Structure 1
Amino acid sequence: MSDVSIVGVGLSRFGRQPGVTGREMAVQAIHAALDDAGIGWPDVQVAFGGSDGSGLADTLVSDLGLTGIPFTNVKNGCATGGSALVSAVNAIRSGAADIALAVGFDKHPRGAFDPRAEDWGLPAGYGEAGLMVTTQFFAIKIARYMEQHGITDPTLAKVAAKAYRNGALNPNAWRREAMAEELIASADMVNDPLTRYMFCSPGEGGAAVVLASEAASTRLGGAPVKVLAVSTRTRGFGSFEVFAPSVQGAGEPSSVSSDASRAAFEAAGVGPDDIDVAQLQDTESGAEVMHLAECGFVAHGEQEKWIAEGLTEIGGRLPVNTDGGCIANGEPIGASGLRQVHEVVTQLRGAAGARQVAGAPRLGFTHVYGAPGISACTVLGV
């Protein structure tokens, strides 16, 4: 079974782009990734990709070139990009290809996501009662968590302020202006305890990754980053998830993020303490707080101290969401997981410019979480 490396990464710009379709953003990201790898589209032997609502990824061949390669559409909520990456990695490991591509993209309208209950295995009345509004779930979950573990409101504002500061250093980010904690905390309340500036917004963008076998990576040279592990998991019994009507069973709810991250660390043969830079899903600032513990980086309740001491800042012990995360970049569902991979690859290459983590980071971690309870994680290394 071949080792797999990332040999090229590419992004479109994130944020509102009038007149530019989601497919066009995907093509921009793919061309950037191909250029980064030093190859052309005809060199790609297999591709996987998807979006939540901006079209079928396989139709991108009309713009990229009709080379006849197998191109599989992937649609897996917020784990779409991660699932495309898993598929590309497995294609190389199986010997089906030496060079593979994963791409994710989306272009969402303004406002909150408005899913249909029937598409998520729920009765129509669930949506008619307003229970498909994601902001309510995120607020309920973090409010419960804060009560259990002694997390205070100022911590939520600190997480969001960090995201905006980091986004200001990222030329591809949507939100590129720092914002004071006081402004974030005093903004309009969306769902208590989360204010409007603590949430990401449905956004626009594309991200692509080129992967290669050990032999192809050696041939191409460049600055490869090894895929040490990649995992996806769905929710288990007892979970408390987006659109879940209740907590199932007795005791503390299980966590799909814990399941996926544990599998990734075990496959990579490393632990959370070994990671030098991390990307954690931050649909809102409470999610980053919870995912710090669910992915094994801190004990539940320790986040308050870590964040107050700046340990998750770019210059801290575990830099988290160095590109601004979803809060600064927005959430184009198909692209977010691969945007995270792009950022970690950039950090491990030492090419992140003003937001570069010091000390030549060697190991990075990415994590996405989404409805109705799915998570994808990677461990990357140089």
Structure 2
Amino acid sequence: MTQPVSIVGAGLSKFGRQPGVTGREMAVTAINNALADAGLSWPDVQVAFGGSDGSGLADTLVAELGFTGIPFTNVKNGCATGGSALFSAVNAVRAGAADIALAVGFDKHPRGAFNARPEEWGLPEGYGDAGLMVTTQFFGAKISRYMRLYDISADTLARVAEKAYRNGSLNPNAWRQEPMSAEAIATADMVNDPLTRYMFCSPGEGAAAIVVASPEALERIDRTPIHLRAISHRTRRFGSFEVFSPAIQGSGEPTSVSADAARAAFEQAGLAPSDVDVAQLQDTESGAEIMHMAECGFCEPGEQEEMIARGDTEIGGWIPINTDGGCIANGEPIGASGLRQVHEIVTQLRGEAGDRQVRGTPQVGFTHVYGAPGISACTVLTV
């Protein structure tokens, strides 16, 4: 039986444009906030994992945090960087290598699209010359196919983004804190059909950190824990349709790395999607949230249209999704997104989300992150 692991601390920096503040400084802020949340200090941490896509090496943060000599491993895994760092921290505790471990993710991206280079992804140079390294094209192509197959309307794309901005307006750490109407979103400039500019998240700035502990450590930590019932991490299988790999191989419906990771997490937790009270799903753009609802098991493909129209995914709905505004309202600092999701679920399960707190007393939360070129990490958290 695996060693139980609990989350005892969660911290964020502010998200959004922060002139004069480096990604490293945001990371230190998030770590200090997570440690303060747990009632711990940096010397209490026995092992750490962290990463950034382009804002520096996480292990060098010891220059600001303190030279305690602990193992600190750098993680770089696209949008799943934060989730992968947490996966590593959890496994260190499970293995008995540490009683207290920390995961951190951070980034500070410039304005504009991500500038991925084909050679870094094992692709020929011509792939970039053809414009296939532009992520917006992939997302437009994937959701267009999905909408045709399952009768999803463009109005539903706009409603998803409208919810994100509304939830972001209730989140003091969010970048986008102004609500926006579905009509304004739907009629904005088209980026890649059918996705308009306000249906996308933007490369952003921010950091998040999580502290996990063993049962033995809990005895000396004065903080009510959130139990990490499961954490999974998967890479793509043959036949998938992914960022920087937009081709369907084989026959039939493409495989889904998100479905694989979610299924593994629920099996590990001994729970089902129907048990979840609040969820965070990767929403790089509106279509991603829609597809991930089905891929993670919260509905069948095509049911999203009616669910979203009914308000099922709103804060007051039966399955609130992205209560903090998700990537659309917070932006996407690549290294931080997965841990921001976990921070939000911890906040919701503690009943500390303020104006965006879901109804009742949520007992089970779920997070899902997806990244190029087909990686996914999921968690199941319980009180």
TM-score range (shorter-chain normalised) is over 0.9
> 1:136-163 deviations in whole A, cap 9, x for unaligned?
0000000000000000010000000000
Distance in 1 (alpha carbons) for counterparts of 2:351 and 2:223: 13
Q: Which runs of 5+ in 2 are unaligned?
A: none
Which shifted more, 344-353 or 212-221?
212-221
In the alignment, is residue 74 of structure 1 matched against residue 75 of structure 2? yes
2:198: which partner in 1?
Answer: 197
Task: Report % sequence identity.
Answer: 76
> 1:255-308 deviations in whole A, cap 9, x for unaligned?
000000000000000000000000000000000000000000000000000000
In the alignment, is residue 58 of structure 1 matched against residue 78 of structure 2? no
In the alignment, is residue 351 of structure 1 matched against residue 352 of structure 2? yes
1:329: which partner in 2?
Answer: 330
2:22: which partner in 1?
Answer: 21
1:145: which partner in 2?
Answer: 146
When the two structures are superposed, what TM-score results if normalisation uses the length of structure 2?
A: 0.99
The one-letter code matched in structure 2 to 1:193 is: P
Structure-to-structure mapping, 1:50-199, within 5 angstroms: 50-199=51-200
Distance in 1 (alpha carbons) for counterparts of 2:345 and 2:199: 23
Q: Which runs of 5+ in 1 are unaligned?
A: none
SS of match in other structure, 1:380: strand
Query: What stretches of structure 1 move > 4 A for 4+ residues in a row?
Result: none
1:276: which partner in 2?
Answer: 277
Structure-to-structure mapping, 1:230-249, within 5 angstroms: 230-249=231-250
- How far apart are residue 223 of structure 1 and its match? 2.0
Distance in 2 (alpha carbons) for counterparts of 1:280 and 1:242: 17
SS of match in other structure, 1:220: coil
Structure-to-structure mapping, 1:39-58, within 5 angstroms: 39-58=40-59
SS of match in other structure, 2:380: strand
Distance in 2 (alpha carbons) for counterparts of 1:187 and 1:86: 38
- How far apart are residue 221 of structure 1 and its match? 2.6
Distance in 1 (alpha carbons) for counterparts of 2:132 and 2:37: 44
1:374: which partner in 2?
Answer: 375
- How far apart are residue 222 of structure 1 and its match? 1.2
2:5: which partner in 1?
Answer: 4
SS of match in other structure, 1:183: helix
Distance in 2 (alpha carbons) for counterparts of 1:258 and 1:2: 25
Aligned residues: 382
> 1:163-182 deviations in whole A, cap 9, x for unaligned?
00000000000000000010
Distance in 2 (alpha carbons) for counterparts of 1:121 and 1:179: 39
The one-letter code matched in structure 2 to 1:247 is: I
1:306: which partner in 2?
Answer: 307
CA RMSD of aligned residues (A): 0.6
Distance in 2 (alpha carbons) for counterparts of 1:147 and 1:2: 45
The one-letter code matched in structure 1 to 2:174 is: A
The one-letter code matched in structure 2 to 1:54 is: S
Distance in 2 (alpha carbons) for counterparts of 1:190 and 1:136: 9
When the two structures are superposed, what TM-score results if normalisation uses the length of structure 1?
A: 0.99
- How far apart are residue 245 of structure 1 and its match? 4.3
Distance in 1 (alpha carbons) for counterparts of 2:253 and 2:42: 48
1:221: which partner in 2?
Answer: 222
Distance in 2 (alpha carbons) for counterparts of 1:2 and 1:157: 43
The one-letter code matched in structure 2 to 1:192 is: D
1:363: which partner in 2?
Answer: 364
